[in-house]
Structure 1
Amino acid sequence: MKTASEYRKHAEECRVLARQVPEGEQREQLLEMARTWESLAETREGLVRNHPELDTAKSAKKER
């Protein structure tokens, strides 16, 4: 499962792309995707707050 920071990275990528296309349907779709990624990040943070054992970021650091 991805981390909240990974979801936020995807959101930022969508916003960057949205700035590169003219106003219209494509831009709105990209901005909606960014909002969805942000929502997923917030949901993930809530899950980790309530269930710290789901924190895959800590697991990845331990493996290094």
Structure 2
Amino acid sequence: MKTAAEYRNHAEECRVLARQMPEGEQRDQLLEMARTWDNLSQTREGLVRNHPDLDTAEPPAQEQRPSKP
């Protein structure tokens, strides 16, 4: 399952494409798709908040400390 961040990225891609389109049906469809992706990201965040075991996000990288000889 995708992460909320991935859904937000899809939404932003739709908004970028919409800005390049003249006003009309195709632009409206892209903006609607962006709203749908945004809604999915919010739903996913709520789901993970209530069920942390469903979190598929990469854990933050830990600093590598040199090993002692």
The question of a shared fold, defined as TM-score above 0.5 by the shorter chain, is answered with yes
For residue 29 of structure 1, what is the aligned residue in structure 2?
29
Residue 12 (structure 1) aligned with residue 2 (structure 2): no
Structure number with greater Rg is 2
Q: Taking every aligned residue pair, what percent have the same amino acid on both sides?
A: 80
Alignment length, in residue pairs?
Answer: 60
Provide the TM-score with structure 1 as the length reference. 0.90
For residues 11-37 of structure 1, the C-alpha deviation after alignment (integer angstroms, 9 at most, x for no partner) is 000000000010000000000000000
Provide the TM-score with structure 2 as the length reference. 0.84
Give the distance between the partners of 2:49 and 2:4, measured in 1 at CA: 12
Structure 2, unmatched stretches of 5+, are 61-69
In the TM superposition, structure 1's runs of 4+ consecutive aligned residues that sit over 6 Å from their partners are none
